Amino acid sequence: MEFFTGIWTYVAAFLVVLTVLVFVHELGHYLVARWCKVRVETFSIGFGRELFGWTDRAGTRWKFSAIPLGGYVKMFGDADPASTPDASNETMTPEERAVAFHHKSLGQRAAVVAAGPAANFLFAIVVFAAVFTLQGQPFTPPVVGGVIEGSAAQRAGMQAGDRIVRINGEPIERFEEILRIVQLNLDNPLNIVVLRNGHEIDLTAAPSFVEETDASGNAVRIARLGVKSGGQMEFVQYGPREAIWRGLTETWLQTTGTLQALGQMVAGERRTDDLGGPLRIAKMSGDVAQGGLAAMIVFMAVLSINLGLINLFPVPMLDGGHLLFYAIEAVRGRPLGPRALEYGFRVGLVLVFSLMVFAFWNDLVHLGIVRYVIGLAS
């Protein structure tokens, strides 16, 4: 229950992280909407009752609301923050149609919707590039310093001093990349090429699972290859051009890694207790904040990627659901009817709410709150 020790530190860190990410996401929608000459009525951080805000010269109400778990941009012609078409769209004047979201072309509407997730990915690229320029990217040479007795690496014939050059055909530059690949491949065999005495040697190793206890006292299964690093971690700084490329690469690796892990959960190959909700994000935000500003900013970049990915899922209520409807409209040559949209949003609401409940339950278990309550009752 150490999460509740200094809880306001965690709350403050969580609110900072969430506010920045929501602002970035909604700013993407806002900027492209204005570029498409759509009138934006509201830009809200949070939901519910307005706490404070202001109205700019374009007539947009910028505000902070009471429930700080998201945000929205409400455009002219929307009935609600979910961008459901308002009935007034049928009776608008030509001047109003010119600035109404739902009277824009299909391409413009799709661009406005896609701009939110795109802003999240762009934010991550910029953050990684800035950190790699100013502080540097963590870099440990992929040299084996030691092989654990009885491990998959030992069974494969790996030796201290080997330099790992490729895994499953993927070039390896840093020891950190080995850790990422092992965790994503679970216990599947890995084709590993090592450089030993100037010669490349092909090895095959199937990582094994080990049970460890995390900081909250929960047993977690981790895939282990069984090699120790043989080099000292350094921070390698790059020039702006190389840093942007490295930031783009890191964003791509984080994106594909997340999608692969989700696919493994759907296939039953990975446990779903890795899914976390707001409580776990708050816990991680507080922990990372204690590591300094750079760690906090990198954590925001990783979460921004996840936020962008989640919003691209083809689920009504999310940006991906709207894009799915637009794809159907492009095929049909006309929008879906009001009833189809209504049922779609209802299904989306159920799916999103169910996922939130599931993630929240995972948080309660992961943070030891369920175990603590059971202990009080027994």
Residue 215's pLDDT is: 53
Active site residue 26: yes
Alpha carbons within 13 angstroms on the beta-carbon side of residue 239 total: 2
Residue-wise pLDDT for 43-78, tens only, equals 999 988 999 999 999 899 999 999 888 889 999 888
The model carries a pTM of 0.83
Q: CA nearest 71: which of 127, 8, 110, 120? A: 120
| C-alpha to C-alpha distance for 351 and 12, rounded to whole angstroms | 29
Residue-wise pLDDT for 164-193, tens only, equals 999 998 899 888 888 888 888 876 788 999
- Indicate the range of 7-11, 321-325, 340-344, 357-361 predicted with least confidence: 357-361
Mean pLDDT of 350-375: 61
Strand, coil or helix: 16: helix
- Could you please report the per-residue DSSP string of 53-82? EEE-TTS-EEEEEEEEEEEEEEETTBSSTT
pLDDT averaged over the chain? 83
Give all domains of the chain, ordered by start, each with its CATH number.
Answer: 2-36+104-134+293-377 (no CATH), 138-235 (2.30.42.10)
User: Do the beta carbons of residue 142 and residue 179 sit within 8 Å?
Assistant: no
Catalytic entry in 2, 26, 50, 242: 26
